[in-house]
Amino acid sequence: HLDNVRKCLDKHFIQTADIDLGVAPYNADEGWVPIGNNSSSFRGTFDGNGMTISNLTINRSTIDYVGLFGVTGGTAKIQNVGLENNNVNGHQCTGALVGKNLGKISDSYATGAVTGTDTYAGGLVGYNRSAISGSYTTGIVNG
């Protein structure tokens, strides 16, 4: 399952089916726990393979680095990821796909709502320090 990516932050992953995160425990209380953080970032490759991840829910308005991936390192590559119907709330560096991105993102999208209660909020990525290509977001961003 997608949740296991956090156990191998420097490995390579290919999504092989659509994933619905709108079920317990991923939609309860604070919701999804972001993959990677500022002290231990995701440094591998995640290829969404054209599949979707839907109903991402995160309610962590006092936590920094919030998204499906909290922090991606300089060697990270995220590609072909489709995030649909997101509801993501964080503090600083909040985005649906990545809170703080230092890696490369390509051919990915996010739809839904993102709220950052402090600085750096974005529909796809909250804070970006690298290349993003062929990607987009639609929805509402507050923050």
Per-residue pLDDT of 20-58, as tens digits, reads 999 999 999 999 999 999 999 999 999 999 999 999 999
| pLDDT reported for residue 34 | 98
Query: The pTM is what?
Result: 0.97
Report the side by side order of strands in the sheet with 69-72: 69-72, 98-101, 125-128
Has residue 14 got a pLDDT over 90? yes
